[in-house]
Chain A
Amino acid sequence: AQSVAQPEDQVNVAEGNPLTVKCTYSVSGNPYLFWYVQYPNRGLQFLLKYITGDNLVKGSYGFEAEFNKSQTSFHLKKPSALVSDSALYFCAAQRDSSASKIIFGSGTRLSIRP
Chain B
Amino acid sequence: DVKVTQSSRYLVKRTGEKVFLECVQDMDHENMFWYRQDPGLGLRLIYFSYDVKMKEKGDIPEGYSVSREKKERFSLILESASTNQTSMYLCASSLLAGGDTQYFGPGTRLTVL
Contact = CB atoms under 8 A, between A and B. Distances in A.
- Interface SS of chain B: helix, strand, loop or mixed? strand
B104 A106 contact: no
A98 B40 contact: no
A107 B42 contact: yes
B58 A101 contact: yes
Contacts of B104: 36, 43-45
Contacts of A105: 42
B102 to A, nearest CB: 7
A42 B106 contact: yes
Interface stretch (B14-22, B64-72, B74-82, B90-98): B90-98
B98 A100 contact: yes
Nearest to A95: B98
Contact of A101 (B41, B48, B106): B48
Given A42-B106, A90-B42, A102-B45, A97 B98 contact: yes
B50 interface: yes
B83 interface: no
A71 to B, nearest CB: 21
Interface residues of B, number: 27
Given A96-B99, A101-B58, A102-B102, A43 B107 contact: yes
Contact of A99 (B92, B97, B103, B105): B97
Interface of B: 4, 31, 33, 35, 40-45, 48, 50, 56, 58, 90, 92, 94, 97-99, 101-107
Given A42-B107, A43-B104, 5 more contacts: A41-B106, A90-B42, A96-B98, A98-B97, A101-B48
25 contacts: A6-B42, A9-B40, A32-B98, A34-B101, A42-B106, A43-B105, A43-B106, A43-B107, A44-B102, A46-B102, A51-B99, A90-B43, A96-B98, A98-B97, A98-B98, A99-B97, A99-B98, A100-B31, A100-B33, A100-B94, A101-B45, A101-B56, A101-B58, A106-B41, A107-B40
